[in-house]
């Protein structure tokens, strides 16, 4: 699920009427107080309806709020007020770029640059920001624009921040060029919370928790009102299981931005961090306040299923999770649905005992996102194995292997071997699967028991070569004292001991002492066993 992010918004390079009020509105956007900013922009436009720049930044407020169409509407209004306003021309190009038409978007960017004679640093910054942050990036183009903007206005903090962002994406394995740009921004404004946050995010991507955390704290000290510093620090804390710190940061964030949508962002962060039990009350509250969409429904049905606070789930809880999944699929567009949505619904159905329906959902998950097919094939195969549909177990694992048996782990080879053993009766394939199993889990006794069984089936029963002997012996050698006392191991242990007792009586390795050892194991587990009694009554057993 897409995380809500904060894109940098540049302040005006040249002051104009009501600048302070505009700065306050932009500040609210930066602090993710979109509803409050919306009210401010409406008031500003009511006072100055001919000020085209107001429409551009109002559009930016919608854009940051992930409402691209409403942003576009404001940029178009700005152009209708003043067709010569190149900021709104950039906005129109931004809309096209994010819609996927980069060719038409670039044409508008070039028009804005040409009309301003490549002398307007703010226009350059706004274009570069698109080239850096949009799904389709042009990092070198952004860097070239920021080089020009910095030459025009070297003391503008935003230019250096955008340059740092571009460099960070351009050289993800080397953060030093980006850090240099962020440090330049800080040399201009040592109290730039935004610059400190960007530095923190860079360290976070490098998985350096301590440095990232410290930079977020520095940002909070530099500007205690900069809400994203608390939210992002909270997300960092959640990722590194610092629950107390996360709670403190989110408490402060919600104090600065106590809105339904702020709580939605908090719930989203908890969800991304898989804090499912904590997600539930937050999403429930958000929906009770009238904020509901496909993402809240996704969070609900995942979290109801995943939350384990109450221990074993009741049928009612699974039914509730399933109902919320129904609600999700009713309102989610095909673009919003991801493979894991089907997979989670399948797991819910499986937990309810509806395995056939679960398999259908898991198959849909594979179709939607083939990159996660491996684990889903395993889930499907295990459901077929549970139903003893061995032909389908085999077919499913063959789909997963795609000709490469190394794609199966020990548990999967165990299931596949048993499917061949009981289903297809293809003991050669069963033996191959069990052989892989013993290599992958060389200390798991049961794996050697099944390798012995398949080897026995491949042997000549009339003139045995005793193919199972080394595997049964290894099985018995690997048994722990705990396993020997486990009733579940009684039957395979008797089976192994009987085979080996027979081996040391009837094979070329004849050894009556060893034979007695194994038949005594049988008697210790089943004193009434007729075969063991017959052995000890025979000359070999006396």
pLDDT tens digit string along 305-331?
999 754 568 889 999 999 999 999 999
The answer on pLDDT for 381 being more than 90 is yes
Give domain 1-189's CATH number out of 3.40.50.620, 2.170.190.11, 3.90.1150.10, 1.25.40.10: 1.25.40.10
Determine the Cα–Cα distance for residues 473 and 97; give it in Å rounded to an integer.
68
Res. 1: pLDDT tops 80: no
DSSP state of 424: I
Q: Which residue has better confidence, 269 or 523? A: 523
What would the mean pLDDT of 333-349 be, rounded to a whole number?
95
Per-residue pLDDT at 32 exceeds 50? yes
Q: How many CB atoms lie within 10 A of CB 538?
A: 12
Q: Are 305 and 347 in contact (CB under 8 A)?
A: yes
Of 50, 99, 104, 96, residue with least CA distance to 77: 50
**pLDDT > 90 in the chain, percent:** 83
pLDDT value of position 311: 55
> How does pLDDT run across 262-309, given as a tens digit for each residue?
889 889 888 988 889 999 999 999 999 999 999 999 999 999 999 975
Is the predicted pLDDT of residue 232 greater than 80, yes or no?
yes
Round to whole Å and give the CA distance between 241 and 78: 46
Cα dihedral across residues 401, 406, 410, 414: positive or negative: positive
8 has pLDDT over 80: no
pLDDT computed for residue 542 by the predictor: 81
Question: Whole-structure pTM over 0.85, yes or no?
Answer: no
**C-alpha count within 13 angstroms, C-beta hemisphere, residue 137:** 13
Confidence class for position 541, pLDDT limits 50, 70, 90: confident
- Has residue 14 got a pLDDT over 50? no
pLDDT above 80 (res 6)? no
Please determine, for residue 227, whether its predicted confidence score (pLDDT) is greater than 50.
Answer: yes
The per-residue pLDDT for 312 is 65
CA distance 302 to 345: 8
Instruction: Write down the pLDDT at residue 309.
Output: 54
Confidence of residue 12 (pLDDT cuts 50, 70, 90): very low
| Distant-in-sequence, close-in-space partners of 256: CB < 8 Å, separation ≥ 6 | 31, 225, 227, 230
Confidence of residue 10 (pLDDT cuts 50, 70, 90): very low
Mean pLDDT score across all residues of the chain: 92
Let me know: does 276 contact 293? Beta carbons within 8 Å.
no
Domain edges within the chain: 1-189, 464-542
8 Å CB contact between 250 and 231: yes
Q: Residue 356 and residue 377: Cα distance in Å, rounded?
A: 14
List pLDDT tens digits, range 461-496. 899 999 999 999 999 999 998 998 899 999 999 999
Residues 128-141, mean pLDDT to the nearest whole number: 97
For residue 259, what pLDDT is reported? 84
pLDDT number for residue 481:
87
What Cα–Cα distance (Å) separates residue 374 from each residue in 25, 159, 378, 406, 430?
49, 45, 7, 12, 21
Tell whether the model's pLDDT for residue 243 goes beyond 50.
Answer: yes
For residue range 142-167, list pLDDT tens digits in order. Answer: 999 999 999 999 999 999 999 999 99
Contacts of range 311-316, beta carbons closer than 8 Å, 24 or more positions apart: 313/351, 315/352
Question: In the structure, what pLDDT confidence band is assigned to residue 2 with cuts at 50, 70 and 90?
Answer: very low
* pLDDT value for 13: 30
For 261-284, the DSSP string reads HHHHHHHHHHHHTT-HHHHHHHHH
pLDDT attached to residue 59: 97
CA distance 213 to 40: 33
CA angle (127, 131, 133) in 5-degree steps: 110
pLDDT above 70 for 208: yes
Determine what percent of the chain is predicted with pLDDT higher than 70.
96
């Amino acid at each position: 699920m897409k995380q809500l992010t904060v894109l940098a918004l540049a302040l005006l390079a040249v002051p104009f009427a009501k600048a302070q009020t505009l700065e306050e509105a932009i500040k609210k956007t930066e602090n993710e107080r979109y509803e409050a900013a919306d009210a401010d922009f409406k008031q500003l436009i009511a006072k100055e309806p001919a000020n085209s720049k107001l429409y551009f930044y109002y559009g930016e407020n919608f854009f940051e709020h992930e409402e691209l169409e409403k942003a576009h509407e404001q940029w178009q209004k700005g152009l209708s007020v003043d067709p010569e306003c190149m900021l709104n021309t950039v906005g129109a190009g931004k809309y096209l770029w994010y819609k996927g038409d980069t060719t038409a978007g670039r044409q508008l960017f070039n028009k804005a640059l040409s009309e301003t004679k490549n002398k307007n640093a703010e226009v350059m910054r706004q274009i570069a920001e698109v080239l850096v942050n949009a799904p389709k990036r042009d990092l070198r183009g952004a860097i070239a624009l920021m080089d020009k903007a910095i030459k025009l206005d070297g003391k503008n903090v935003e230019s250096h921040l955008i340059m740092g962002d571009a460099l960070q994406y351009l050289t993800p394995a080397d953060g030093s060029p980006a850090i240099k740009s962020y440090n330049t921004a800080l040399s201009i404004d040592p109290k730039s919370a935004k610059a400190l946050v960007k530095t923190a995010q860079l360290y976070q991507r490098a998985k350096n928790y301590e440095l990232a955390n410290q930079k977020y704290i520095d940002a909070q000290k530099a500007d205690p009102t900069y809400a994203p510093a608390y939210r992002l620090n909270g997300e960092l804390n959640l990722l590194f299981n610092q629950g107390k710190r996360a709670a403190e940061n989110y408490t402060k964030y919600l104090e600065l931005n106590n809105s339904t949508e702020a709580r939605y962002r908090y719930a989203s962060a908890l969800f991304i961090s898989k804090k499912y039990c904590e997600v539930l009350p937050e999403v429930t509250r958000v929906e009770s306040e009238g904020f509901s969409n496909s993402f809240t429904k996704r969070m609900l049905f995942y979290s109801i299923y995943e939350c384990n606070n109450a221990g074993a789930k009741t049928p009612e809880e699974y039914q509730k999770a399933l109902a919320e999944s129904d609600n999700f699929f009713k309102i989610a567009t095909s673009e919003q649905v991801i493979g894991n949505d089907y997979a989670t619904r399948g797991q819910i159905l499986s937990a309810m005992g509806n395995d056939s329906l679960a398999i259908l959902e898991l198959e849909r998950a594979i179709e939607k996102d083939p990159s996660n097919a491996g684990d889903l094939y395993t889930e499907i195969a295990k459901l077929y194995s549970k139903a003893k549909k061995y032909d389908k177990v085999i077919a499913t694992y063959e789909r997963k292997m795609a000709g490469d048996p190394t794609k199966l782990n020990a548990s999967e080879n165990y299931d596949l071997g048993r499917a061949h053993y009981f289903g297809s009766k293809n003991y050669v394939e069963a033996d191959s699967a069990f052989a892989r199993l013993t290599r992958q889990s060389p200390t798991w006794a049961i794996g050697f028991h099944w390798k012995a069984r398949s080897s026995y089936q491949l042997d000549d029963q009339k003139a045995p070569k005793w193919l199972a002997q080394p595997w049964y012996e290894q099985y018995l050698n690997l048994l722990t004292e705990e396993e020997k006392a486990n009733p579940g191991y009684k039957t395979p242990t008797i089976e192994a001991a009987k085979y080996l007792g027979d081996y040391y009586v009837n094979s070329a390795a004849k050894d009556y002492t060893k034979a007695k050892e194994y038949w005594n194991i049988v008697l210790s587990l089943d004193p009434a066993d007729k075969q063991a009694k017959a052995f000890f009554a025979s000359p070999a057993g006396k």
